[in-house]
Amino acid sequence: MPHIEIKCYPGRSDEQKRLCAEKVAQAAAEALGLSTSTVSVAIKEIEKENWKKDVWDKQIVPDEKYLYKKPEYKM
For the chain, domains (ranges, CATH) are 3-66 (3.30.429.10)
The three-state secondary structure class of 63 is coil
Residue 39 CB neighbour total at 10 angstroms = 20
Which residues carry out catalysis? Answer: 2
* pLDDT at residue number 21: 98
Using a 10 angstrom Cβ sphere, with 0-12 exposed, 13-18 middle and 19 or more buried, the burial of residue 1 is exposed
What does the pLDDT look like over 22-70, one tens digit per residue? Answer: 999 999 999 999 999 999 999 999 999 999 999 999 999 999 999 999 9
What does the pLDDT look like over 44-55, one tens digit per residue? Answer: 999 999 999 999
